[in-house]
Chains A and B, each alone.
Chain A
């Protein structure tokens, strides 16, 4: 006899961050399939799927609808931080839980959210520290004009300046804007040692293509001299980038070291998959009631820090070479520090050149 649980799926299947969403959706749905096919598990999931089509105003009502029209108490969803912040009040009302499977900028710990992908000390800090050691102390910061872009660039600027580095330029583009000529011209002018790209979606793709073109025109901007770094680039976005992806450097909890079809196998997909599997395992043990109470006691069993509800993760720096991410540096079991208040949890480098740990 199987017990059925509704589970909310709230990913935008269109809009500017569609490719990330599709990977997350695929991971969540494939886990649901696996759970439902597993005769050893006493539970079954029924997905309650809503598509906010990339429109921020749809998230709260759709989340409310999932929670009021089904018995779902868990929602797997959201890509942007703004959409996550939209649904938290709805989750609060229903004492429900969001499984958030995307890297983000940190500085949040809602009891209603499991933050399953990398936070600040697991993405921006390690990639920045690594790049400062390998390429130099001057970085150009480019970001989309919303929380992720602002906060990623703020952390980068603060760290760089605290270590005696410089930020010769910092530019933001509106979400979805693809006019990147000004950005490229400015980078060409100020000649940084590396570039931190926290643009998302269409803006990011346009920028990456234009920068690859610049690198072909002027070898000083080729990846071996002045690489483009991203905190959230995964396999999911490689197909749309094609050759322009060569040399891009990213950070994440996992990468596929063999070519994958259609952007499959990304850490987004894997994280969404693992989230659903973790939930299934917990429900299979007969755990009911407010999930934050369960996590407060047993979160560590699942690698979830009971205090912050963020996950302990591996951190890899990887570069796209021949269409595949090749891992260049790894740290294992990095505990989360979403507020950057716990320097002991920050990935360490053997030879330190960082002089201060101000965030």
Chain B
């Protein structure tokens, strides 16, 4: 099924706006509140509460890395760049800080809602991809464990041909995945020098 944009979660969501005082800043803050968000603005220092905010909107004209307590590109929430100067260096910085969406100045009401939704979708997608990469990495390392477990079983039974099947049988008996069963066998062997057996 196509992933639908979740709007309902915006109510009571907290947005931190990291931007210097400006005549037009209230226009954007008003719009964020109209959409249903709780808004806090700050400059130049992010308050400690920012770490749990649901969105960060930040000025790219005067912004710099040291303003954020997290490594560039690893913000724990969707980031929206407020772009004035389109000098390539500034756009590069916006991108490096991990902008999930951008709003071009002058600050206005229109576009704010769209950028919130875009930023959140892009952030969620990025998070899901990272989680998937992590899971694949784990499975990759689990494959090495399986190879070790199979060779341990082969030593015990003397048959390499059936060892993989033995592992599958053990996993079923222990009601766990083959990867977890392999970890058990390898760990047991490491701590006792013996094979864990299902008997």
Interchain CB contact under 8 A, B7 and A340: yes
Known pairs A158-B4, A307-B33, A308-B34; A341 contacts B109 (CB<8 A): no
Evaluate whether A341 and B4 lie within 8 angstroms (CB atoms) in the complex, with A107-B113, A111-B30, A111-B109 already known.
no
Write out the residue numbers on chain B whose beta carbons fall within 8 Å of the beta carbon of A339: 7, 10, 34-36, 113
A344 to B166, CA, bound (A): 57
Collect the chain B residues with CB atoms within 8 Å of residue A174's CB: none
A56: CB under 8 A from chain B? no
Query: Does A307 lie within 8 Å of B34, measured CB to CB?
Result: yes
**Which of chain A's residues has its CB closest to B30's CB?**
A111
A307 to B31, alpha carbons, bound, how many Å? 8
Alpha-carbon distance between A162 and B7 when the two chains are bound, in angstroms:
13
Q: Is the CB of A343 within 8 A of B8?
A: yes
| Chain B neighbourhood of A321, CB < 8 A | none
Q: Binding site of A, secondary structure by majority: helix, strand, loop or mixed?
A: loop
Measured CB to CB, the nearest residue on chain B to A358 is: B6
Contacts of A308 in B (CB 8 A): 34
A110 within 8 A of B: yes
Is the Cβ of B36 less than 8 Å from the Cβ of A341? Answer: yes
Q: Is A68 an interface residue (CB 8 A)?
A: no
- Does B65 make an interface contact (CB < 8 A)? no
Q: Which of B1-15 contact A (CB under 8 A)?
A: 1, 4-11
Is A298 close to B, CB under 8 A? Answer: no
- A321-359 residues at the B interface, CB under 8 angstroms: 337, 339-344, 357-359
By the criterion CB–CB under 8 Å, are B34 and A358 in contact? no
Whether A359 contacts B113 in the complex (CB less than 8 A), given A109-B34, A111-B30, comes out as: no
Q: Footprint of B on A, CB under 8 Å?
A: 107, 109-111, 158, 161-162, 307-308, 337, 339-344, 357-359
A-B contact pairs, 23 of them (CB 8 A): A109-B34, A109-B35, A110-B110, A111-B109, A162-B4, A307-B33, A307-B34, A339-B7, A339-B10, A339-B34, A339-B36, A340-B7, A341-B9, A341-B10, A341-B11, A341-B35, A342-B11, A342-B36, A357-B8, A358-B4, A358-B6, A359-B5, A359-B7
